[in-house]
Amino acid sequence: MAYTLLNPPYSFLQFGYAQFIGQKHCYEHDIKNCLPVIENTDLAFQLILKAGNEDEADAICDAPTNIIQLLLLEGIITQPAGFEAAILKNFTIDDGLLFQRYRINDTEILFYWPHGLPGFKDLIDCNSCFQIGIKIVSADPVINISAPTNCFYRPCDDCWTSLLEYNCDENSYGFEYCQAVTPNKVRLPIHIARPQLKTEQSIYSRSNGKINILKAVKKKEYEAETENLTEDIHEKIDIALDHDEVHITSKHYTGGIRKTGDYEIEWIKFLDYPLGKAQFKVLVTPYLVRNDNCEVCEPLPQIDAVDDVFPDDLLIGEEYEIDVKANDTFCCSPVTFSIVSFNETYLESANINDDGILTIVVKADAPDEDNVELVVYKAECPNGIFDTAIVRGNVEDGETDLCAAPTDLSVDEVTETTASLSWTRVLPTPAGLYDWELYDDDNNLIASDTGVWNPGSTILIVINGLDANTHYDFRVRSNCGEGNYSTWVTDDFTTLPPPGNITPTCAGGSTEGVDFGVAGTYNFSQNIVTVTPGVIHVVAHNDQAGSISGYSMYYSGDIIVGPGQTSIVIPVEYDGGGIHTIFTMTFTYTDTSGESSCESLFSFN
Give the pLDDT confidence of 330-374 residue by residue, as tens digits.
Answer: 666 788 899 999 999 999 999 999 889 999 999 988 888 888 999
| Spans in the chain with pLDDT lower than 70 | 1-33, 43-46, 62-67, 74-85, 87-101, 112, 114-115, 118, 138-148, 158-160, 167-184, 194-219, 244, 252, 269-273, 285-302, 330-332, 383, 397-401, 455-456, 498-605
The answer to whether 603 and 581 are in contact (CB under 8 A) is yes
Exposure string of 459-469, with b = 16+ CB inside 10 Å and e = fewer, is bebebeebebe
Rounded-to-integer distance, Cα 308 and Cα 390, Å: 6
Q: Quote the pLDDT of residue 421.
A: 93
**Which phi and psi (to 5°) does residue 487 adopt?**
-70, 155
Q: Quote the pLDDT of residue 489.
A: 94
Q: What is the 3-state secondary structure (H, E, C) of 79-104?
A: CCCCCEEEEEEEEECCCCCCCEEEEC
Burial tier of 494 (Cβ tally within 10 Å: 0-12, 13-18, 19+):
middle
Rounded-to-integer distance, Cα 93 and Cα 63, Å: 9
Domain at 401-494, CATH homologous superfamily: Immunoglobulins (2.60.40.10)
Bridge partner residues of 133 (DSSP): 71, 148
Q: Quote the pLDDT of residue 109.
A: 77
Rounded-to-integer distance, Cα 369 and Cα 110, Å: 39
State the number of CA atoms in the 13 A half-sphere of 67 facing the CB. 13
Residue 547: CB atoms within 10 A of its CB come to 12
Rounded-to-integer distance, Cα 484 and Cα 482, Å: 6
The answer to whether 253 and 163 are in contact (CB under 8 A) is no
Domain 510-604: assigned CATH number: 2.60.40
User: Which H helix or E strand runs over 453?
Assistant: none
Looking at the domain 3-156, which fold is it? Immunoglobulin-like (2.60.40)
C-alpha dihedral over 100, 103, 104, 106, to 10 degrees?
160
Write the DSSP string, 304-340: E---EE-SS-EETT-EEEEEGGGG-EE-SSS-EEEEE
Residue 428 preceded by cis peptide, ω within 30: yes
Q: Quote the pLDDT of residue 347.
A: 93
Q: Could you give the C-alpha distances from 127 to 157, 186, 191, 275, in angstroms and in order?
A: 9, 18, 18, 18
Q: Quote the pLDDT of residue 558.
A: 43
State the number of CA atoms in the 13 A half-sphere of 202 facing the CB. 3
Q: Which conformational region is residue 293 in: left (phi greater than 0), alpha (psi within -120 to 50 degrees), or beta?
A: alpha
Nearest to 582 by CA among 599, 598, 603, 600: 603
For the chain, helix, strand, coil in percent to 5 are: 5, 50, 45
Q: What is the pTM of this model?
A: 0.40
* Residues whose CB falls within 8 Å of the CB of residue 143, separated by 6 or more in sequence, listed in order: 1, 3, 60, 66, 136, 137
Rounded-to-integer distance, Cα 167 and Cα 299, Å: 11
The domain limits of the chain are 3-156, 185-284, 316-324+336-395, 401-494, 510-604
Q: In what order do the strands lie in the sheet with 594-604?
A: 510-511, 526-529, 594-604, 581-591
Exposure string of 403-430, with b = 16+ CB inside 10 Å and e = fewer, is bbbbeebeeeebebbebebbbebbebbe
* Residues whose CB falls within 8 Å of the CB of residue 597, separated by 6 or more in sequence, listed in order: 504, 586, 587, 588, 589
401-494 and 510-604, same CATH topology? yes
